């Protein structure tokens, strides 16, 4: 889930919002201002209901962010690099650069999320009780009580032993510890995730059909998301199993066609379809032959036609510092998440700073096809 708006860094972790986070704010605000608040505490102005409901929604988002930040901080302390956090329609997601090194690390990283939400819920419970004892506005106490309840629900739901929930990660850590096989453990957690997802879908549709409760559609949607995410995790586990022990050098495209940084875009586009430049992405070389970046057809196409005669490839390329790089002996399974998260979905293969290849998802797919064919039993 790519971010739409960046919030900068919090505790050293890049944080962003996806546009769909507005759905959370709208749903929470509408349900509180249009229902719970007026029903529990009538007599206030509509402005008061909507202002407090919107503020409550924002605080709820902050609690989601705190949940994900806890994952990120503990992950870094356990040697797992964190690419960032994105809040979106169905909550938040901490993007981990690599897998947990041990089952114990997986346990700590996964367990801190529900624990954080439970602590936040407890803090809100204490705050609501204290404010009620001080005879603070009942409407404000209602908002605090709702935040307490929703964080407790978030903690309990995330602790369910089903991927991709935190509880699914805890289940995977347990199975990994028992079997010593990460892939087998992921399959088990993913199967539990699909089972929970289908149960939620059926329960959601049953609520709509037999009770006329339209909120069941939201429950079914969440279940469908769990099914899709758990299935994706299972496929990723199978992929990791197939590619286990395979170095990047075996899947990369060797000696990729490169382009000089001094070439104008006009000349590059004139030669691209017919001469050497028949691909859509190319390493960019400095006059001394060192690789300094990557240029894609999309980056070139952003330059207006009238400016291409005076604009060089070096002017529009993505600098090497923003390009994913990897060594030939690195494991393909460790590259996969970085490749998927990279801006251009490509990685340059460097051997002591010298360009020796390029890796794309298509290269990995070809390798998987061949490896699968080689290990498939004959009929």
Residues with active-site annotation: 68
Measure the CA–CA gap between 168 and 173, rounded to whole angstroms. 9
Respond yes or no on whether the N-terminal peptide bond of residue 323 is cis (omega within 30° of 0): no
Concatenating the DSSP letter of every residue in 326-356 gives E-TTSBHHHHHHHHHHSSSS-EEEEETTEEE
Alpha-carbon distance 72 to 151, whole Å?
A: 19
In which element (H, E) is residue 22 found?
helix 21-31
What is the C-alpha end-to-end distance of the chain, expressed in Å? 41
How many whole angstroms separate alpha carbon 210 and alpha carbon 216?
11
Instruction: Name the nearest CA neighbour of 56 among 148, 120, 130, 122.
Output: 148
Q: What is the helix (H) or strand (E) element at residue 67, kind and residue range? A: helix 46-77
């Amino acid at each position: 889930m790519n971010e739409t708006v960046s919030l900068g860094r919090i505790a050293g972790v890049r944080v962003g919002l996806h546009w769909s986070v507005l759905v959370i704010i709208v749903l929470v605000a509408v349900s509180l201002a249009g229902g719970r608040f007026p029903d529990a505490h009538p007599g206030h102005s509509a402005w008061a209901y909507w202002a407090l409901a919107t503020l409550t929604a924002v605080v709820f988002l902050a609690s989601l962010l705190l949940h994900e930040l806890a994952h990120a901080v503990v992950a870094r302390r356990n040697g797992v690099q964190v690419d960032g956090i994105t809040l979106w329609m169905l909550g938040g997601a901490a993007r981990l650069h690599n897998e947990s090194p041990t089952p114990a690390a997986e346990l700590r990283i996964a367990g801190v999320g529900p624990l954080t939400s439970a602590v936040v819920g407890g803090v809100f419970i204490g705050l609501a009780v204290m404010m009620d004892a001080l005879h603070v506005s009942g409407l404000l106490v209602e908002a605090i009580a709702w935040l307490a309840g929703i964080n407790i629900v978030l903690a309990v739901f995330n602790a369910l032993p089903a991927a991709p929930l935190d509880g699914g990660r805890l289940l995977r850590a347990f199975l990994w510890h028992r079997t010593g096989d990460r892939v087998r453990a992921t399959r088990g957690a993913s199967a539990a995730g699909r089972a929970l997802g289908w149960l939620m879908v059926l329960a959601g549709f049953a609520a709509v059909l037999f009770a006329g409760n339209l909120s069941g559609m939201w429950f079914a949607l969440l279940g469908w998301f769990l099914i899709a995410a758990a299935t994706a995790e299972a496929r990723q586990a199978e992929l990791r199993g197939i590619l286990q022990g395979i170095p990047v050098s075996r899947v990369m495209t060797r000696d990729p066609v490169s382009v000089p940084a001094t070439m104008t875009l006009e000349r590059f586009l004139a030669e691209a379809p017919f001469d050497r430049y028949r691909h859509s992405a190319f390493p960019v070389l400095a006059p001394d032959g060192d690789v300094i970046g990557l240029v894609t057809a999309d980056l070139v196409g952003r330059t207006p036609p009238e400016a291409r005669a005076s604009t060089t490839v070096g002017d529009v390329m993505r600098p090497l510092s923003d390009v994913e790089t990897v060594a030939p002996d690195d494991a393909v399974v460790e590259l996969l998440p970085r490749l998927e998260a990279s801006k251009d979905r490509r990685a340059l293969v460097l051997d002591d700073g010298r360009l020796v290849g390029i890796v794309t998802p298509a290269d990995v797919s070809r390798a998987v096809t061949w490896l699968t064919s080689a290990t498939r039993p004959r009929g």
